């Protein structure tokens, strides 16, 4: 079964600091990769996604992520965080792609709580 690991459970940064959140998944086949964000009191929103092509994907609000197939990783980055980035971030994987049924569900990591201090 697919599993997703997010190594940082709680991260505290000062504004303007750089951010990198780690995400590793277990399955070696073709997968779709996602980062979702949940701001306080709000529902899950898609931050960015990777389906195929350029392994460096850019999302909303200045976030980007790099898919490194050899490392089974999809780390999230932002060069300069803002206070408004305080939220919980979830990495999710869908796969194996092309398999009906169970291949369509998302497997989530346990989330990383990011707090950005002024």
* Residues binding another protein (CB under 8 A): 34, 36, 42-46, 49, 90, 92, 97, 100-102, 104-111
Q: To the nearest whole angstrom, how small is the minimum distance from the Cβ of residue 87 to another protein?
A: 14
Query: Among residues 41 and 118, whose Cβ is nearest to another protein?
Result: 41
- 96 close to 31: Cβ distance less than 8 angstroms: yes
Q: Which is nearer to another protein, 45 or 80 (CB)?
A: 45
Question: Phi and psi of 66, rounded to 5°?
Answer: -120, 125
Distance of CA 62 to CAs 22, 44, 82, Å?
17, 18, 10
Q: Which is nearer to another protein, 18 or 45 (CB)?
A: 45
């Amino acid at each position: 079964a697919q599993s997703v690991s997010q190594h940082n459970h709680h991260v505290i940064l000062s504004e303007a600091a750089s951010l990198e959140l780690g995400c590793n998944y277990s399955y070696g086949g073709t997968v779709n990769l996602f980062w979702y964000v949940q701001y306080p009191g709000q529902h899950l929103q898609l931050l960015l996604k990777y389906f195929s092509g350029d392994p460096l994907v850019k999302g909303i609000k200045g976030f980007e992520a790099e898919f490194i197939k050899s490392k089974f990783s999809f780390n999230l980055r932002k060069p300069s965080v803002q206070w408004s980035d305080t939220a919980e971030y979830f990495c999710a994987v869908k796969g194996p792609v092309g398999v009906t049924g169970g291949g369509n569900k998302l497997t989530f990591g346990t989330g990383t709580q990011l707090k950005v201090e002024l």
